[in-house]
Amino acid sequence: MAAVVRVSDVQDVRVPRAELLTRLRARQGVSLVPEHELVRDVLYLFQGMSGTHVRWRHEWQLPSDDGSRPAHMDMRLDFDEQYGMIAPPTRALIHRLAELGQLYERVQRYVEETQQTKASLHLAAQSLCYFLANELHAHCELVSAWDRTWHAQVEGDGGRPLTLQRLASCAHEPVMRMRLMSTIVASCEHAHGGALVSTIHTYTLTGHPFIRRYTAAMLDHVSRPFFHTLSRWLYYGELDDPFSEFFVRRATAPAERPHVVDDLVVTSEQGVDAADVWHHRFVLSRDMLPTFLSEHFARKIFSTGKSLHFLRECCLEGSAPSRHRRELRYSDMAGLEHAIDAEFALASGQLCTRMLRAFRLFDHLRALKSYLLLAQGDFADALLQTLGPSLSRPASTLYQHNLSAALETAIRASSAQYEDPEILRRLDARSLEFGPGDTGWDTFTLEYRVDSPVNAVLDASAMAGYQLLFHYLWHIQRVASRISTAWTQLLSVQKEVARSRHRRALGQPLLLQLRATHAHLCEMVHFVRQLQSFSELEGLSHAWQRLEHDLLVSPPTDLDHLIEIHRTYLHTLIHTTLLRAPGSGRRTTDHLAHDVRAQLHCILAYADATDELGMYVTAELARLASDATAPLAAAARTHAHVSQRLATHHTEFVERLHTMLAALERHPTLTVRDLARRWNFNAVYQRRS
């Protein structure tokens, strides 16, 4: 806006406000600082230094009371007007331009402090500092170019003058670059390794093309140590990470670690088997996982490196699989994903193939099924026949050499003699620790020994699961043999009674009791045989068919998948055979399995009473054949006692069976529920109200 000044009474002359201000300052002896001097000061400010008319002042700011802002140093501008005045608009422009110098000083301070304190600790921080140092050097070269232009202007060499407005225009992109670097160093102050790379990567997720392009270039440089470690792990299975910056790290856990299959927990010492090498030697550290790698690819990388390490350490695989190794870079994410998929398929496929073929994992699983799960019936019968008399004695009378000899006899007496000797040498019979009153039935067990690397799949907890199944099935086998023997002996007694001419002298009540006992034995034989059939068909055979399909028809993708397939197989066996409900944990009582064991003990007690009844009847026939006139009082008391035992055990058997049938009908698993239809196929056990 122009001001009006009266020069004479006749004429008005319009003078601009700026001219008036200049005249006023001239009368007061005050002059403006020449712009070229201010340009020179601004060039100093760009480098974090003070000029003649404009200076930096450093002030320490105390932390906030709530702890949200730590103590820090602020840079403020002081204007010295001793040699001339600086107009307010010019001051505002210099303030805007000085931001570049303030940001430069902040980034430079981070680089210097990091190089002094952290450079020896973190490769990613070193790489970031190297990138920032190059950027700071480029900034200084740019300021030097502007300085040369300024000197040329002062010396009168001509050319376009370097003004504050021109500096503001030229410094737009450098300010954006320095502002981005300052923001990143503030975010990365306490981050290192993969976390630092992730922090920088978040700045690429923007729509601003300059920020996205510049951050990607920075990340391509800063992530080189990360991709070097990734290449060593992905291609060689070697963890070259001296400063713990990678998302895979060596475990630092206690000396004992739990191995868990289903609800079985068994501890094993660190480093003693392949299972520990695979499961516990390396861990995935998610806080070091860069955000540009998804969880899916991270697990593939983790599994690939573990597979190569496992091949070298446990499978004694001397040379790595042949492959075309490509350089991994942040700028080539498509190539990175392709390399991850290819290396995962190659390393994991080779490991699974060697486990199944070279180390005969499937043969070991078949041997466990045949011998510990008693699927090879003639071997189980021969072992039971050989060991039966010995196992009825106290556990303290069992000796290892006798058990080993019995196992050898059972092998020679069955088709197991044609088994591969490498498989048979892993079988062993031994007695567990025993307490007072224990018999051989309580302590006898079969063992199957496996070694590295197969024990990565058949670890301590898995073998404990097989032991649990063996003891359960072995008990059923024992009861099936015992009740069949009792039934056969009672049948012989009945035939002897039918042929005897003193049959009528035994009395109608005793003859009826023989028939009832025979019927009850048939009832119990049916119970045990249906339980055996259920365990073999619905339990073992079904689970084995699924295992064969998962291992041979659709091969596993990696060793974790292979372990999970076997774990599912064993989990299915334990839950189906022991009649557990889905989702039952280690604290859940196996009520149905407990009832089955109690029922089997009841059947054994009934078989013993049946034998005593048969001996009593045989003795009576012999007495009658010797023309004895009256039964002995002691024999009569024995008969009454045996009769009472038979009635009690049968009542207990029937009542418990009703309880089990009711529980089975409510069981959530349809396969287990089918056992109720097997036991009560003719509805003889009606549901009780």
Residue 563: HSE in the Cβ half-sphere, 13 Å Cα cutoff:
23
- β-strands 54-61, 12-16: how paired? unpaired
Burial class of residue 162 (count of CB atoms within 10 Å of its CB; 0-12, 13-18, 19+): buried
- Domain contains 318: yes
**369, 433: one domain:** yes
Domain boundary residue among 190, 223, 241? 190
**Are the C-beta atoms of 562 and 352 separated by less than 8 Å?**
yes
- The pLDDT assigned to 262 comes to 57
**365, 348: one domain:** no
- The pLDDT assigned to 325 comes to 80
Compute and round to an integer the Cα radius of gyration of the chain.
45
What amino acid is encoded at 495 in this protein?
K
**Are the C-beta atoms of 189 and 70 separated by less than 8 Å?**
no
**432, 537: one domain:** no
**427, 548: one domain:** no
**Are the C-beta atoms of 186 and 201 separated by less than 8 Å?**
no
Write the CB contacts of 586 (distance below 8 Å, at least 6 apart in sequence).
263, 264, 265
- Domain contains 205: no
Distance between CA atoms of 15 and 13, rounded to whole angstroms? 6
According to DSSP, the residues that pair with 266 across neighbouring strands are 259
pLDDT along the chain (689 residues), means of 10: 44 68 63 84 88 80 61 72 80 89 90 75 86 93 91 76 89 92 88 87 88 91 92 92 90 56 54 81 90 92 94 77 75 90 92 92 96 94 91 88 93 94 94 86 93 92 94 94 93 90 84 92 94 92 94 90 95 90 55 90 95 90 73 68 93 94 87 89 71
Domain boundary residue among 358, 385, 418? 358
**227, 299: one domain:** yes
- Domain contains 202: no
Handedness of CA 400, 403, 407, 413 (dihedral sign): positive
What is the number of other CB atoms lying within 10 angstroms of the CB of residue 314?
Answer: 21
Write the CB contacts of 195 (distance below 8 Å, at least 6 apart in sequence).
287, 288
Number of domains in the chain: 4
Note if the bond before 258 is cis, omega within 30 degrees: no
**491, 602: one domain:** yes
Distance between CA atoms of 569 and 416, rounded to whole angstroms? 24
**364, 323: one domain:** no
Closest CA to 538 of 575, 576, 582, 580: 576
**152, 297: one domain:** no
Write the CB contacts of 600 (distance below 8 Å, at least 6 apart in sequence).
475, 476, 479, 528
**351, 373: one domain:** no
C-beta contacts of 94-98 below 8 A and 24+ residues apart: 94/38, 94/41, 94/42, 94/45, 94/54, 94/164, 96/168, 97/42, 97/45, 97/46, 97/164, 97/167, 97/168, 97/171, 98/42, 98/45, 98/54
**Residue showing tokens 């601004």:** 42
C-beta contacts of 235-238 below 8 A and 24+ residues apart: 235/308, 235/320, 235/323, 235/325, 235/343, 236/308, 236/320, 237/304, 237/305, 237/306, 237/307, 237/308, 237/309, 237/310, 237/311, 237/312, 237/320, 237/347, 238/305, 238/309
- β-strands 256-261, 427-431: how paired? unpaired
**Are the C-beta atoms of 406 and 428 separated by less than 8 Å?**
no
- The DSSP output letter for 288 is G
Tokens of 433: 């620790």
What is the number of other CB atoms lying within 10 angstroms of the CB of residue 434?
Answer: 15
Closest CA to 343 of 306, 316, 379: 306
Residue 605: HSE in the Cβ half-sphere, 13 Å Cα cutoff:
18
**607, 636: one domain:** yes
**353, 375: one domain:** no
Distance between CA atoms of 176 and 59, rounded to whole angstroms? 25
**42, 174: one domain:** yes
- Domain contains 249: yes
- The pLDDT assigned to 2 comes to 44
- Domain contains 651: yes
- Domain contains 195: no
Domain boundary residue among 458, 493, 516? 458
Please tell me whether residue 282 adopts helix, strand or coil conformation.
strand
- Domain contains 469: no
Task: Output the pTM of the full model.
Answer: 0.81
- Domain contains 206: no
Owning domain of residue 352: 214-358
- The pLDDT assigned to 69 comes to 57
Tokens of 328: 């991994």
